[in-house]
């Protein structure tokens, strides 16, 4: 039987559950956090909690409303998707229609819910158009936004929504989730060491060759830096096959480097794809230098399309990374 599965993040579930059972007015909600943490699954879980016929504060997965949400065909749960070719939301086509619709009563009993994933793709005009429903909330409608970070959402919206950050889950929860998806405990272990606590990325890692390769490349780059081996560094970078892979390698490297900065500053490091490597980097470079390399990598990632070709990009990345030595 299908059912809603949300691992970890107990605080969020408890808080919402108590709001629902106490029949308090539910404000619009913003869920934020890095990709892979299950924000859109959480949005669906909240929609089901709000409309479950058993009204226990969490979804029963069995009633008519829960089943319709599980199958993606509940008439009062709308998934708003960006209509522009570039994958961005447009105010006239995507936002205004749902704002007007929010003031019309639900079809079924319960609430009308609008889920807007990737709120970082809403420009200021779209966000301002949404502001109306946050300022004068229609009684039966709830908007649920998800975003990779809070900074992409206007302050005027942030001050009117109930926002919470999704966390990485414990190794036990991650293992359970990965094994529920058909992988054995050995695979779960490998995935945990590559993407600690991030179930979405762990599953991508196990299902997709590209992510697996990106992790291996980022680890080889880290080793080459620690061994001060320019040849191995260039060789590792040369294994990147396209810009998408370059982006994913940079993301993994940035996590390793952030972890190294934390180790260098004596803080408890967050787990990353290569803890041992992060430890070694913290031993060869001062925190300030690691931070400055991180900034250059972020910059390169942002303008990744502007490099004439892949080899120019990887040469720049290799030169920057070697500054760690
Ligand atoms: Zn239910």
pLDDT in tens, 59-74: 999 999 999 999 889 9
Average pLDDT over residues 88-99: 95
Q: What is the DSSP string of 248-286?
A: HHHHHHHHHHHHHHHHHTTSPPPP-TTHHHHHHHHHHS-
Measure the CA–CA gap between 274 and 217, rounded to whole angstroms. Answer: 11
What are 145's strand-pairing partners? 30, 116
Measure 66 CA to ligand 1 centroid, in angstroms: 4
pLDDT of residue 146: 96
For residue 31, give the H/E element and its range: strand 29-32
Measure 72 CA to ligand 1 centroid, in angstroms: 14
pLDDT of residue 241: 93
Measure 1 CA to ligand 1 centroid, in angstroms: 13
Measure 122 CA to ligand 1 centroid, in angstroms: 31
Whether residue 191 lies inside any domain: the answer is: no
Average pLDDT over residues 178-193: 94
List CB contacts of 112: < 8 A, sequence separation 6 or more: 76, 77, 78, 101, 102, 104, 106, 138, 140, 141, 142
Whether residue 189 lies inside any domain: the answer is: no
Burial of 182 (0-12, 13-18, 19+ CB in 10 A): exposed
**Which of 193, 188, 180 has the alpha carbon at shortest distance from 273?**
193
Measure 175 CA to ligand 1 centroid, in angstroms: 27
Tens-digit pLDDT profile for residues 31-61: 999 989 999 999 999 999 999 999 888 999 9
| pTM: predicted TM-score of the whole model, two decimal places | 0.80
pLDDT of residue 1: 58
Residues 129 and 234 in one domain: no
Does the structure show a pLDDT above 70 at 100? yes
C-beta separation of 165 from 15 below 8 A: no
State the virtual CA torsion across 50, 54, 59, 65 in degrees, nearest 10: -70
Residues 154 and 102 in one domain: yes
Measure 57 CA to ligand 1 centroid, in angstroms: 10
Measure 5 CA to ligand 1 centroid, in angstroms: 14
For residues 265 and 113, which has the higher predicted lDDT (pLDDT)?
Answer: 113
Whether residue 64 lies inside any domain: the answer is: yes
pLDDT of residue 20: 83
Residues 228 and 311 in one domain: yes
pLDDT of residue 12: 87
Residues 15 and 118 in one domain: yes
Confidence of residue 214 (pLDDT cuts 50, 70, 90): very high
Measure the CA–CA gap between 82 and 92, rounded to whole angstroms. Answer: 11
DSSP, collapsed to helix, strand or coil, labels residue 22 as coil
Measure 17 CA to ligand 1 centroid, in angstroms: 13
Measure 63 CA to ligand 1 centroid, in angstroms: 4
> Which percentage of the chain shows pLDDT scores above 90?
73
Confidence of residue 85 (pLDDT cuts 50, 70, 90): confident
Token pair in block for residue 121: 């793709």
Measure 143 CA to ligand 1 centroid, in angstroms: 20
Residues 219 and 303 in one domain: yes
Residue with tokens 């200021």: 124
Instruction: Give the number of domains in the chain.
Output: 2
Measure 165 CA to ligand 1 centroid, in angstroms: 25
The boundaries of the domain holding residue 221 are 208-324
Q: Give ∠ CA 7-8-11 in degrees, rounded to 5.
A: 135
Q: How many residues does the chain have?
A: 325
Most confident of 198-212, 216-230, 262-276, 305-319: 216-230
Residues 142 and 222 in one domain: no
Please tell me the number of Cα atoms within 13 Å of 135 on its side-chain side: 8
Measure 228 CA to ligand 1 centroid, in angstroms: 58
Confidence of residue 185 (pLDDT cuts 50, 70, 90): very high
Average pLDDT over residues 266-275: 81
pLDDT of residue 66: 95
Whether residue 303 lies inside any domain: the answer is: yes
Measure 68 CA to ligand 1 centroid, in angstroms: 10
Residues 125 and 226 in one domain: no
Average pLDDT over residues 143-151: 93
Measure 56 CA to ligand 1 centroid, in angstroms: 9
């Amino acid at each position: 039987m299908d059912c809603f599965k949300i691992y970890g993040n107990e605080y969020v579930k408890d808080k919402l559950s108590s709001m629902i059972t106490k029949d308090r007015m539910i404000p619009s909600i913003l869920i934020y956090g890095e990709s892979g943490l299950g924000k859109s699954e959480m949005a669906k879980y909240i929609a089901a909690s709000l409309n479950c016929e058993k009204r226990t504060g969490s979804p029963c997965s069995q009633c008519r409303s829960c089943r319709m949400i599980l199958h993606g065909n509940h008439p009062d749960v709308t998934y708003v998707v960006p209509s522009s070719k570039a994958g961005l939301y447009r105010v006239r086509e995507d936002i205004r229609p749902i704002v007007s619709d929010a003031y019309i009563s639900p079809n079924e009993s319960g609430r009308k819910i609008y889920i807007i994933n990737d709120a970082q793709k809403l420009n200021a005009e779209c966000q301002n158009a949404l502001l109306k429903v946050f300022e004068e909330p229609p009684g039966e409608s709830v908007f649920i936004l998800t975003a990779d970070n809070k900074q992409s959402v206007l302050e005027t919206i942030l001050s009117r929504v109930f926002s919470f950050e999704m966390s990485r889950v414990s190794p036990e929860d991650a293992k359970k989730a990965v094994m529920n998806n058909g992988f054995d405990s050995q695979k779960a272990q490998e995935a945990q060491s590559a993407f600690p606590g991030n179930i979405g990325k762990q599953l991508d890692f196990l299902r997709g060759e590209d992510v697996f390769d990106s992790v291996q490349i980022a680890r080889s780059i880290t080793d080459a830096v620690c061994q001060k081996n320019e040849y191995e560094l260039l060789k590792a970078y040369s294994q990147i096959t396209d810009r998408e892979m370059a982006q994913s390698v940079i993301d993994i490297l940035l996590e390793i480097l952030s972890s190294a900065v934390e180790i260098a500053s004596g803080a408890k490091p967050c787990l990353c794809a290569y803890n041992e490597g992060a430890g070694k980097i913290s031993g060869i470079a001062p925190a300030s230098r690691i931070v400055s390399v991180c900034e250059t990598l972020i910059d390169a990632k942002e303008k990744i399309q502007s490099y004439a070709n892949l080899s120019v990009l990887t040469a720049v990345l290799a030169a920057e990374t070697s500054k760690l030595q």
